[in-house]
Amino acid sequence: MTTLTILPAGITFDAPAGTTLLQAIKDAGAAIISKCGGKGECGACHLYVQEGRKSLSKVQRKENEALDAIIGVSSKSRLACQTTLGEEPVTIELLSFV
């Protein structure tokens, strides 16, 4: 299990390692958009990782290509549907609200 903190809502949630951020965010009861159903194609689940980036899965080609098409991407950017939690605590900032 790892501790996921979701900003700006201030939600803290324990999620199993190996879970995608998208699923963990939904399980925590936070709202997040995913137009492509978690396939890494739409970019709607773009978020910023504020802490714990090293604990997450590495950015793969598909995610990198999707991020390249998004305005406002930074070194903290990830797609929730393509990012898997590790063992260390992670803090994320949701950029869109439903």
To the nearest whole number, what is the mean pLDDT of the chain?
A: 94
Q: Which domains does the chain have, with CATH numbers?
A: 2-94 (3.10.20.30)
pLDDT digits (tens, 9 = 90+) for 75-89: 999 999 999 999 999
Contact predicate 68/42, CB 8 Å: no
The pTM of this model reads 0.93
pLDDT tens track for 35-65: 999 999 999 999 999 999 999 999 999 999 9
Q: Which residues of 23-39 are buried (b: 16+ CB within 10 A; e: fewer)?
A: bbbeebebebbbeeebe
Token pair 């999707």 is found at 66
What the block records as the tokens of 15 is 């999620």
- Sign (positive/negative) of CA torsion 52, 28, 25, 7? negative
